[in-house]
Structure 1
Amino acid sequence: MAQPAPSRRPPQLRTPHTRPTLGDELIVTPQRRLRSPHQGAPSMANTCHITVDTAHDLGPLDHSWNFIGYDECNYTYMPEGRQLLARFGTLSDAPYYVRTHFMFCTGSCNGTQKFGSTNVYRENAQGDPIYDFTYYDLILDAILTSGNKPFVELGFMPQALADPAYRNQPSLAGMDVYREVGWTYPPADYRKWHDFILAVARHLAGRYGASEIASWYFELWNEPDICYWSGTAEDYCTLYDFTEHALHEALPDARLSGPACTGIFAHNGARDLMRAFLRHCREGRNACTGATGACLDFITFHAKGSVFPADVTAAKAVPSVGSLVHQVRFGLELAREEGFDDLDVVVSEADPDGWSAGGIADNPNMRYRNTEYYASYVAAAYSRIRDLSREFGVHVRPLAWAFMFPQEECFAGTRTFATQGIAKPVFNLFAMLARMGSHGLPLRSDGAPDPACDRRLIPDFDEAAPSHYTGAGAQTAIDGFASRADDGSLRTLVYAHCDDIDEDGVTDVELRFDGLGKGRYRVVQYRIDDCHSNAHAVWLAQGSPKYPDDRKYATIKQADGLETIGEPLTLDVSESGRPATLWFVMPAHAVSLVRVERL
């Protein structure tokens, strides 16, 4: 039987007693299914049934996703950095909280991959401090003027404060040993570090005001359980004691967190360090004051869905949503075990994999970052983290560790929101999320992910992020969450995601709204898939130019915004409470935002 021709016309709405018309190929029925122009014969998967209960309010919807970050602090104020920050700052749920590394480091103040510097602290020949906030302020000002807020990472160690033992380390690349490892060392004198933090905090208070800074987030260090910290767990706790005392002396209402360690598994150094840190904050001897414990305002740790090493001949591997979410669960369980289950949590790096600066030229599996797969992965992961937040009764906020790299080849596959100023599909996911409403509504899906599938597919599931997981046999999960906006409109986000990047099946979706009042409604569906809100697909069609000329660039750029499927539809509800249903098709990697508003 011949398949229907590909089309981008809108899906159709119907009430439950209206039969779909087989002559219209865009009304999905078991006999006739819409397919993508890039797919072969469509899958005969069962219909996924999703129901939104519009009559019951779940309370305020926390826009927990407005956190982003990146390594290279000096990229913040570059033209490309300012441009991207401005795109986030103009989203309707801004501000976004911006975290970046290397803010205290000593160097040239020229941004490079995986390093940055501000020279905020130096010393004269007598060992007296010299403070220069020029670049430090430039970074924070760029964040604030873009309409966003700083998530201030207090790190790493200025060269003049670092324990001079680092100088005994051999240079691995014939470079400055401080740049290679010195910034990872504890201070030679913790009192000097205390005075440094106090000076920074007082400078911030004078420049931005204590009331403004109370809305920021602060975090001590990054991943002290691995190579970012050359001290012990006890040294980190000592650093926290002196940091917390100094910061809160100048800024009593500042929110400070730790330990920002890597993924939490059943048995690993991150778990050990986080447990030791939480116990120290609860009952340890404070190294700065001699009292018991230390003030902890919220908790941070990281989660990654895979590890992709540098290997240009790497066999197929994909990220695992389940592995990332599993790490978040472990972290929340650990916080509960240690008596901190009442504190908010920021997963201050929550990403599909662990190497932001690597691209396709380093490992071909990085290709996913350019595509709709990255968007559907983040939507799936964030949706499941929301489920954990409700289960544990705490706010859990994932931070997307991604930004941009200036002057790179177009769609180089680095973990970025934009390439050469062109927004990737994953940015459009955040544009969708920003449109979600202020109050949650119940949503049920019979295509929701089965966590047991995650564990079954990945060997050593509890021990490490996977590096050779292919996604073969992974479920195509279809789920989401629903909301009501302040203007009364309904906003429902639906994602379809399969860990297997090569899965190209499609699924019929029946999205039913229960409890609508009598009247006429306007329905708009935004979509990210292989041919909507997808500049990468247009870039491929333009011949994959590394540096597009003006004509090709304009064509690609035109496709980098959030798109709708067809024209808005009108829905008539003849009587209050009568269900209304939207039928559409989801490829295995896609995200839809359905907005329903009364006319």
Structure 2
Amino acid sequence: MGLKAMITTAQSTLCTAVTHISVNAAHEIGPLNHDWRFFGYDECNYTYTPEGRRMLERFGKLGDAPYYVRTHFLFCNGSCTGTQKFGSTNLYHEDAQGNPIYDFTYIDLILDTILESGNKPYVELGFMPEDLADPSFRNNPWLGGLDPYRESGWTYPPKDYHRWHGFIRTFTRHLAERYGSKEVDTWYFELWNEPDIFYWSGSDKDYCMLFDFTEQALHTVLPNARLGGPTCTGIFDQGGGRELMQTFLEHCKTGTNAATSATGTRLDFITFHVKGAEFPRNANATKAVPSVGNLVHQIESGVEMIEAAGFGGLEIVLSEADPDTWAAGGINDNANMRFRDTEYYASFVACAYQRIAEIAQRYGAPIHPLAWAFVFPQEECFPATRTFATQDIVKPVFRAFDMLSRLGSHALELSSDSTADSALEQQLDSDYGKAAPHHYTGLGAPTMVSGWAARNDAGQLQVLLYSHCDDIDVHEERSIELQITGLEPNQRYQLHHWRIDGTHSNAHTQWLAEGHPKYPAGEKYDRIKTADALELLTPEEIITATSAGTATLRFTMPTHAVSLLTFDLQ
């Protein structure tokens, strides 16, 4: 018996439920804008490494590119060598007389690499250059012999907000001169990262002041550029993220602008973060899983705050939207991170993004989820860090983006009789609404099956379906009955059915079969690498619509799976 047959036999049970999906191919419900085309990572210096370049190029080659790329530490001082959770460009320092000196070498290299890959920068304006930071960071008695700037100095407010204004103005002018204002106007700019926690050593009022000076400097040079904030953590029922969001929106609406003394501050889009779980360092942690419902609740809470503050309809970027909080941690830090290498991560993303799209439709403006994941060079193979690839072997989650990219730009009506039960989600997750959950096991969570339907400009019809249950240990099969109406009567269609699951488009499964080597090589590596490609579930076939223009397809989906079906008129 082959590997895939063995796994299918071990994991599958009798299909006990049927999910009915209906698609009306003749009913276009509006544009499908591919709002998920955003990703990012902490380590700016990993951008131009060989692994970083190849990962960027993978996204740049997707059919819906460009993707917007966000990274931390663009303004920091240091060695300009990539390390986990830090980075630097040495963009700014001052001479002995306090005169500014700029060196754009590394920041140009980062931005050039993003653009050369076919993507666009999402420029995070942060963190504080060492010579601009309030010098009180040097007086921390708890640091001992540690580098005070590396430990916390980059989190401090500026020593002089007018100097910060000049710094932003000079940086922005450089971008306009190097790339052209027309190009830079297509980028996104965001001030700081999570200033409601340890990334910012100032107060909420200090952040609002920083935003005022940043906005005035940026738009003096680039009046059409897009600037957003406050980039806070999750909008839970209480906590620092909610408090900062409230303060910031009130300030932008009716506060006194610190840079201009006018009332209010221009705000082009709003940003905050959402996470489905928090897995702390604990090698002996008991079972826990991410919560799609908790993540979605945070978004709904944020949208409610934004509408109440008078900014309803403004574009929203969830500039970190992830199953959990700790990208650099892996399976040796907390065994619950095991899901990141598997099909579970792919089905979680598809499920969460589809529900975000529903919220955006109700809200009446785009909501963009940004996946905070990238690469960690030289790591062991499949260590469950939050990445899209490991040792240049693509993970199933990247194939989910591959599938999403193949959807057309014309949304079609899709309905499913398997939908989310918000009341049940809240009942199962004891941390629901309070924080990113620590101890949610997913026990009793429903399996949700839904997705998107679309048509591209060439007339191809696509149906993307996911099956997802928060409980990672549920392995069942569900019968799917997909009925499509509105087809050309009696016409033939070529069908391709692509699949991500435990045995398709899944290099992790092959890696396990190879004995889970830390650094696979030779033919063993080649077999693992080959398994990372997007794979057909069944050979391509021809189906014929009825005289009424309908077609019905029946197939099964495991609990954690993503399918893409494409229909080409023959």
Cα deviations by residue, 1:55-76 (Å, 9 ceiling, x for unpaired): 1111111101110000000000
1: CA distance, partners of 2:533 / 2:72: 29
State the partner residue of 1:29.
none
Tell me if structure 1 keeps the 8 A contact 2:313–2:363. no
Choose from 305, 308, 318 the match for 2:276. 305
State the partner residue of 1:86.
57
2: CA distance, partners of 1:476 / 1:359: 26
Q: How does 1:272-283 map to 2 (within 5 A)?
A: 272-283=243-254
1:587 and 2:558 equivalent? Answer: yes
Amino acid in the other structure paired with 2:84: Q
Unaligned 5+ segments in structure 2 are none
2: CA distance, partners of 1:400 / 1:44: 33
State the partner residue of 2:424.
453
SS in 2 for 1:530: coil
1:240 and 2:211 equivalent? Answer: yes
State the partner residue of 1:437.
408
2: CA distance, partners of 1:92 / 1:62: 13
State the partner residue of 2:28.
57
Choose from 545, 552, 564 the match for 2:517. 545
Tell me if structure 1 keeps the 8 A contact 2:465–2:563. yes
1:118 and 2:89 equivalent? Answer: yes
Q: How does 1:75-154 map to 2 (within 5 A)?
A: 75-154=46-125
Choose from 543, 567, 580 the match for 2:539. 567
SS in 2 for 1:82: helix
Greater alpha carbon shift after TM alignment, 551-560 vs 90-99:
551-560
Greater alpha carbon shift after TM alignment, 141-150 vs 34-43:
34-43
Amino acid in the other structure paired with 2:541: L
State the partner residue of 1:69.
40
SS in 2 for 1:567: strand
Tell me if structure 2 keeps the 8 A contact 1:449–1:479. no
Amino acid in the other structure paired with 2:568: E
Instruction: Give 1:39 shift.
Output: 2.9
Instruction: Give 1:517 shift.
Output: 1.1
State the partner residue of 2:390.
419
CA RMSD between the two structures: 1.4
* TM-score normalised according to structure 2 size: 0.98
1: CA distance, partners of 2:530 / 2:11: 28
1:157 and 2:95 equivalent? Answer: no
Amino acid in the other structure paired with 2:196: D
Instruction: Give 1:44 shift.
Output: 3.9
SS in 2 for 1:292: coil
2: CA distance, partners of 1:529 / 1:140: 35
Q: How does 1:397-546 map to 2 (within 5 A)?
A: 397-518=368-489, 519-546=491-518
SS in 2 for 1:442: strand
- % identity of equivalent residues: 59
Tell me if structure 2 keeps the 8 A contact 1:350–1:398. yes
State the partner residue of 1:346.
317
Tell me if structure 1 keeps the 8 A contact 2:133–2:156. yes
Return closer, same or farther for 1:169/1:459 CA change in 2, 3 Å cut-off: same
SS in 2 for 1:85: helix
1: CA distance, partners of 2:3 / 2:240: 52
Choose from 223, 226, 232 the match for 1:261. 232
1: CA distance, partners of 2:319 / 2:311: 17
Tell me if structure 1 keeps the 8 A contact 2:15–2:479. no
2: CA distance, partners of 1:80 / 1:36: 31
1:361 and 2:332 equivalent? Answer: yes
Choose from 136, 139, 150 the match for 1:168. 139
Amino acid in the other structure paired with 2:512: L
State the partner residue of 1:228.
199
Tell me if structure 2 keeps the 8 A contact 1:171–1:180. no
Cα deviations by residue, 1:271-290 (Å, 9 ceiling, x for unpaired): 11001101101110000010
Tell me if structure 1 keeps the 8 A contact 2:12–2:475. no
Choose from 188, 191, 194 the match for 2:159. 188
Amino acid in the other structure paired with 1:478: V
1: CA distance, partners of 2:226 / 2:431: 36
SS in 2 for 1:84: helix
SS in 1 for 2:402: helix
Return closer, same or farther for 1:115/1:7 CA change in 2, 3 Å cut-off: closer
2: CA distance, partners of 1:174 / 1:42: 59
Instruction: Give 1:170 shift.
Output: 3.6
2: CA distance, partners of 1:140 / 1:334: 34
State the partner residue of 1:22.
none
Instruction: Give 1:41 shift.
Output: 5.6
SS in 1 for 2:177: helix
Unaligned 5+ segments in structure 1 are 9-33
Cα deviations by residue, 1:380-423 (Å, 9 ceiling, x for unpaired): 00000000001111110100000000000000110000001110
2: CA distance, partners of 1:52 / 1:41: 27
Return closer, same or farther for 1:532/1:41 CA change in 2, 3 Å cut-off: closer
2: CA distance, partners of 1:173 / 1:51: 64
State the partner residue of 1:198.
169
Instruction: Give 1:7 shift.
Output: 11
Amino acid in the other structure paired with 2:248: F
2: CA distance, partners of 1:446 / 1:569: 27
Amino acid in the other structure paired with 1:525: H
State the partner residue of 1:23.
none
1: CA distance, partners of 2:294 / 2:531: 32
SS in 2 for 1:565: strand
State the partner residue of 1:207.
178
Structure with bigger helix share is 2
SS in 1 for 2:520: coil
Amino acid in the other structure paired with 2:519: Y
Tell me if structure 2 keeps the 8 A contact 1:441–1:484. yes
2: CA distance, partners of 1:480 / 1:247: 39
